[in-house]
Amino acid sequence: MIEILTIPFVQKALIGGVLLAILLSLLSLFIVVKNWSFISVGISHATFGGLALGLYLGVNPGFTGFLFAILVGLLIGYISKNSNLKEDVSIGILFSLSMAIGVILIMKTPNYSSDLFMFLFGDILTITDLDIKLLLTFTVFVIVYLILFFNRLMFCCYDEEVAYTTGIKTSFYYYSLITIIAIATVLSVKLVGVILASAMIILPASFASLFFWHYKKILIFASIISILMVITGIFISYYLDYPPGAFIVSLYSTVFITGLLFKKIVNKQ
């Protein structure tokens, strides 16, 4: 255990993993309350189109994925706000379009397989100092954002129409929250990849809500359990030589299912 902690790339993986666990846990509450689980799935998979665009153009795919995710997130919100379509419909449309664009561009890009595998499934052991700085900066920003606007955000999530009638600028909170979720999703791609990123933002509050009702307790418990899952997943995957991102999500999913079964057994007694 002590020897592993002396390895530089493991140290970076642990630091980055803890930061991402905190970031996604904080946002997970709004995903659950707003029933936006499909949004994180849509954005994470839509990022694939942006990553493919970067590879095709020969520019940093992380940058194009970042811009693409924000664009898709805002489009999801705009279509939902300005049409009769609900979020899940607009997500399905943009999800399919982004994946289709990604597949076309990837097929036209030579020597893409290794980079594509990393972006699809992630590898936290390759996290860099720059990634950690970006994660730290954005996590601090999100914490400050939530401290300033938490009550209004929760009001908008529970009943947006009533919040609007009280004078709250619901559109600002709606679009800003979607943008933050999009950025967090892109940052998590480095950890668990496009395919698994959405699970890390859905599972924390979903698991915590099995045992707690108050939002503060959900936030605290979700953050703690996420940190434990990430640290445990990194250590075990390192020893067993498993892909860390996939193992973390598998571990978290197993814990969630176990907790769900435990709660059902307790409720029957």
Angle at 165 between CA 164 and CA 167, to 5 degrees: 70
- Residue identified by tokens 């972006």 is 119
What is the C-alpha separation between 219 and 143, in angstroms, rounded? 12
What mean pLDDT is predicted for residues 33-41?
76
The angle formed by the CA atoms of residues 173, 95 and 230, to the nearest 5 degrees, is: 70
Tokens read off for 62: 């992380």
Q: What is the CATH number of the domain that holds 37?
A: 1.10.3470.10
| Rounded CA separation 36/252 (Å) | 19
CA distance from start to end of the chain: 41
- Contact assessment for residue 190 and residue 127, using Cβ atoms and an 8 Å cutoff: yes
Per the CB < 8 A criterion, the answer to whether 62 and 54 are in contact is yes
Separation of alpha carbons 182 and 155, rounded Å:
21
Mean pLDDT to the nearest integer, 145-150: 92
pLDDT cut 90: percent of the chain above it:
16
**Distance between CA 145 and CA 142 in Å, rounded?**
5
Distance CA 99, CA 172 (A): 28
- Cα 183 to Cα 203: distance, rounded to the nearest angstrom: 18
Q: Where are the alpha helices (DSSP H) in the chain?
A: 2-5, 8-33, 37-57, 61-81, 87-107, 113-121, 129-158, 160-165, 170-208, 215-240, 244-268
Q: How many domains does the chain have?
A: 1
> pTM to 2 decimals?
0.85
Give the residue numbers spanning the domain of 162: 2-268
> Which of 230, 211, 235 minimizes the C-alpha distance to 221?
211
What pLDDT is recorded for position 112?
A: 60
Please state, in angstroms and rounded to a whole number, the distance separating the CA atoms of residues 28 and 6.
32
pLDDT higher than 90, residue 244: no
Residue pLDDT, tens place only, 1-36: 667 778 888 889 899 989 999 999 999 988 888 877
